Every structure is written in C-alpha cells, then in structure tokens.
Amino acid sequence: MFAIPGTAPVTITAAAAAQIARLMAGKDAYGLRIGLKKGGCAGMEYTMELAETPSSNEEVIEQNGARVIIAPMAQMFLFGTEIDYENGLLESGFKFRNPNVTDACGCGESVTFEALEGSRAQS
C-alpha cells in the first residue's frame, strides 16, 4: 500500500464506522471491501461489498469496530481519503472525501484521478 509509516491510508469517521459495523454484524462479514471500477460520467466509480476475508495483497484498516478492506487496484487512489456516512432526508450513504480526485460528475457518483504520469486517469 502507498503509506506513510504511522499514518492510516484512509480514515473512517465515527458515523461511517458505526454503519460499517452494523453491516458487518448483519451479514456476519469480516469487513467492507472498497475498490474502484471504470464507469460513470467522470471515468471511475467507487465499489463497495461485504467480504468474508481479505486476500493477502489487500490493505485492512480497523477503526472503532469497523474493518475496511482496500482492493489492490484502488490503494494508490484512496490514500488520504476520509470515509464518512451521512444520513439525510432525501438520501443516506457513504461519502468519500478524497484529496486525489481532480474532477467529479454532477451527481457525485463518479470521479477522475490525476494519473501518475500527469495525464488524466479515467476510462
């Protein structure tokens, strides 16, 4: 994982940790796997699924009773991200505050990242 020693690659707010812990307990899952896939208006979309076990090349972050598993392809794009959970009147869901995002679509469902070589990383 792309990391700074002593620093978590992602942070999880108390609201997100509580929701992840609820999801884990409800499905008897090991943790919530977070990844990225090509798609959406801006090029990349976040993916989430409950997982029974992490693979050896996945990063696991544990915080306040919640476990987040970061898929290998997503690791360098998620470094420094804060994962939050917001409850609202019209919608509720996980929110990613990711400093690596260079653009997002209007609905906020897909994002673009700056590639390592300086070109845009998208579809």
pLDDT in tens, 42-63: 677 888 999 999 998 999 999 9
Alpha helices in 1-120 (DSSP H): 14-27, 75-78
Write down the CATH number for the domain with range 10-121: 2.60.300.12
pLDDT score at 116? 41
Q: pLDDT, tens digit, for every residue of 12-26?
A: 999 999 999 999 999
Q: pLDDT, tens digit, for every residue of 30-39?
A: 999 999 888 7
Question: Per mean pLDDT, which of 11-15, 88-92, 93-97 is the most reliable?
Answer: 11-15
CB of 19 closer than 8 Å to CB of 67: no
pLDDT score at 65? 92
Q: Interior CA angle at 115 toward 12 and 55, to 5°? A: 50
pLDDT score at 90? 87
How far apart, in Å, are the Cα atoms of 109 and each of 14, 40, 69? 22, 7, 20
Cα separation of the two ends of the chain: 23
Residue type, 42: A
The domain locations on the chain are 10-121
